[in-house]
Structure 1
Amino acid sequence: MDRVLVVEDTDSLREVLAAVLRNVGYEVAACACAEEALGLLDKDEFQVILSDLKLPGKNGLDLVSETRRKHITTPFIVMTAYGNIDVAVDAMKRGATDFITKPFDPGSLCELISQVIKHRRIIDRSMDSEGKAFLTESPLVLQVLEQARKVAPLSSPVLILGESGTGKELIARYIHQQSNRAADHFIAVNCGSMPSDLLESEFFGHEAGAFTGANEKRIGLFEVATNGTIFLDEIGNMPANLQTKLLRTLQESEIKRLGSTKTKRINTRVISATNCNIEAAIHKGAFREDLYYRLGVVVLEIPPLRERPEDIELLANYFIKRYAA
């Protein structure tokens, strides 16, 4: 049975919340302050924390920060009064999963808790198509995964920032798997691994005779990925002439094969990633600013391992078991 920790200092509301959640099948522990909640979290495991922001002593923001500082990664929902949305956003920046605005009906609360538990379980077992898990206990990374889950149903381009080895492609695959495009292609391309002319042909395809050696028509990867997702890794290394063509593709949702005069409509979601400083590249004139804004409608940043020490032992044990087998 899933367990919910309710933190609310108003006795009557705390009792109502506990009763509502018990009636739909949750096991509930309830308390009136952050200090008591932290004590319960030290002793027991919960699937969700539901807390008011206004509490005696340490407030709800302090409780969010303290749980994440102690590496307690339990999904955290904050309750806030209408008009205090900025405070709720602050709570999410500190590591809260979601918020609900008072007054709310019991059905909405139960639905939110159910969704949070469901999506956390998806994250916990999230695997890419090759069966590799995104192993983490870091609140920072779990927050990135939660943001990825929220943008997955959209068609907006996503730009993933992070150093080499932080798992940018795993996040891209996770977004694809949680989207309505999951049944179609996920195609990954390294933009820094091939010459400009070859990369252009890979992206957009070509007609027979378009250039020396083009003996037959070839369909490009953007066309192959229609209704699916194309992942452009190392986007910061893309040659300038291709940046212009990619920008047009994003603006018009169409491609033109090399050697053709006809355009073709596509419905391909673009997720890109880079380990370089894009803003510095823009300043140097090496990357188009308008393309950056097209690619980065949604920006996710994965912290390096040195900023999430709680993952070091987890990953070390994983690789020891994997390579000692």
Structure 2
Amino acid sequence: MHLRFLGATVLHEVDARQMQDHPSLCWRKFDYIVYNFPHAGFYGSEDNPDMINKHQGLVYDFFSNARWLLRHNGQIHVTHKIKPPYSFWNLEELAHQNSLRLMECVPFDIKDYPMYENKRGHSSTIDEPFNWKDSYTFIFTVAPPSPDISSSHFNLQGCRDALPRVKFVVKAEVRHFLMAAGYAGVLVDEYHSVRAMFWGPLPYMCVNFAELLAIKCALLMYERSHLCHRNVALDVESNSNVAISWIRSNFGNTLELSTELQEINMALGRIPNPVELFCCYGKYEGAHYHLVRRLAVKALDTLNMCERWIPDNAGY
């Protein structure tokens, strides 16, 4: 009643997966579409791979509908827990598959939603609130058209920076049905020659956290190398904008995440050369992108961390 008093239209029983076909919504455009704590229902344990797939299907279909209901520069806000098993949903990848990009992640505070009451929706505690701590609001917008990939990334960087540059492309793989994770990285020079690589297993975790660890490994491997002491700048490309946002904003509040961010920031402070982080949004073009993806898959069956340097013929 309060929303109607303020002039809002209130609709019930709207299927989040088919919003663009709803007769009251299909002709409208919105500045903001908010979905707090999406959930596909209770059909088993939350860490069950089948349940994770159900939740991912719901969010994927929501994104595929919501993006068509946005005004220009409109935003989609999805509030979600970031601890496992909820982090395994991988919201950013689901958004990317629907041409959405992550703008920002901010801690969720229920005080920002006056009169909002979250409910469990299941069992004898169906009408009781659940713990929303460790939840964040992921803010997405429609991704701009991809830039022309025919131009060399390093040539573009060379216009901005006179230093020679190398690029570490990192990739994480998480297989929920195997309860396994792994990461890998490939270092390439300005001539697109592979200079080094790493791959190794990880404990079962969400893909964004795995990408964060891959970024840390790349920074530490570069720091130990001769390149770090020869005025060679570094670019790091990850497939996770969430992991990069964690580093740039340092908003992680869990002890485990904060520890990793602290180590990354310390490494960035020790490296004397320029370091830049980029998200490649899953666009793996070129031999070295395919190589890092193969290494990440290989890492799932690897017992130990592996590093390999290739003889340097580039004169660094």
Q: TM-score, normalised by structure 1?
A: 0.31
User: Which structure carries more helix by proportion?
Assistant: 1
Bigger Cα Rg? 1
